[in-house]
Structures are given as structure tokens and as C-alpha cells.
Amino acid sequence: MKEALERLDALMNRLVEADQTGAGIEPLHVASELGQIRQLLAESPAVIPAKGGQKHFRCEACGTVVHGTDAPSRCPTCGGTKFFAADIEQPFVESGAG
């Protein structure tokens, strides 16, 4: 995860520099770099468990994060029934779609 974030920061800096200086940047190079960063992120751990073995589940409909050992049957915010494991590295997370 750390390598992916470092590469993403470096790419963003190159894009800003190219914009500020008027220097060109090759779109295919940017796309390739983003693809490699995406792969690194996909290979990183998907869930960081909370204390006590709890997991984090994000509602597919509204984005609300629910904590527990298993996904709930219904979202407490919107009533949705589909959840996916959510990455959480901080104790406070904004909920909401997208």
C-alpha cells in the first residue's frame, strides 16, 4: 500500500509540474503508471480488522460503514442488503456514497 501511495503522489506531482510549466506528458505513460498503481492496490490487504476481531462493511447502496463480526442483514441508514468489506485505517470514517 505504501509503495502505491508513493507512486501515486509522484505521478500527481509530475502532472502538476507538466501543467504549470506547459511541458507535455505522455497520456499512455500516465495510463500505464495508473494501471501499475491499481495492481499494487488490488494486491494489498483488503480489510484491516478493528480491535476485538470486528470487521468493517460498507453498504453498496449508500456507503454507510457498519462494524461487526458479520455484515448486517440490513443497512441501518437506507435498508440496503448488499455489503462489501471496507478498508479502514482510521477510527473515524465519513460515510456516504462514492
> In this predicted model, what pLDDT tens digit does every residue of 68-95 receive, in sequence order?
888 899 999 889 999 988 765 544 445 5
Give the pTM. 0.44
- Report the number of distinct structural domains present in the chain: 2
95 and 64 assigned to the same domain: yes
22 and 70 assigned to the same domain: no
Q: What is the pLDDT of residue 81?
A: 94
* Arithmetic mean of pLDDT over the chain: 79
93 and 54 assigned to the same domain: yes
84 and 69 assigned to the same domain: yes
Q: What is the pLDDT of residue 93?
A: 47
Q: How far is CA 38 from CA 13, 47, 51, 55, 79, in A?
A: 18, 17, 28, 23, 31
